[in-house]
Amino acid sequence: MNHSDTENINYCVGTWRGIPLPYLKKIARLNNYVRKADAAKKLHKILQDFANEYGYMAEDVSYRPPEDAKYYTSAAHCVSFEGGPHEWGVCLSFLLSNENWYTEPYHAFDVHFHDSGR
């Protein structure tokens, strides 16, 4: 992890306690993925593991590819966890980005992966 990742993890831990530090570290490593699709799918898996370990319902964690945009609001890779910790998507949007893609929440319980355009 680089210095920026560490600062963002500290921000998430300091301001919001929804996902434990070991999981935040795994999530921060997604910034090493070049393809946003791969990062989104791995985030989905990490959040399912988190849900199983901490008593949430893993089936509440979903991944939607851009092809499903006609049914949803954004033509982006989307990971949603509506039954998860309060506003988890807002915190993770500060944590997840690189030169190829960035994330932003549409709702407080999801993140959408977009091209960075850098």
Residue-wise pLDDT tens digits, 22-48: 888 899 999 999 999 999 999 999 999
pLDDT band for position 49 (cuts 50, 70, 90):
very high
Please check whether residue 52 is in contact with residue 58, taking contact to mean a CB–CB distance below 8 angstroms.
yes
Residues forming beta bridges with residue 115, ordered by sequence position: 101
For the cut 60, the answer to whether the pLDDT of residue 16 exceeds it is no
Kindly tell me the burial class for residue 32, based on how many C-beta atoms sit within 10 Å of its own C-beta (0-12, 13-18, 19 or more): exposed
Stretch 5-9: mean pLDDT, rounded?
63
pLDDT band for position 71 (cuts 50, 70, 90):
low
∠ at Cα 96 (118, 83), nearest 5°? 140
Residues forming beta bridges with residue 112, ordered by sequence position: 78, 104
Using CA of residue 8, residue 14, residue 18, residue 21, what is the dihedral sign? positive
- Highest-scoring range by mean pLDDT, 34-43, 53-62, 67-76, 106-115: 34-43
CA-based nearest residue to 37, from 92, 96, 77: 77
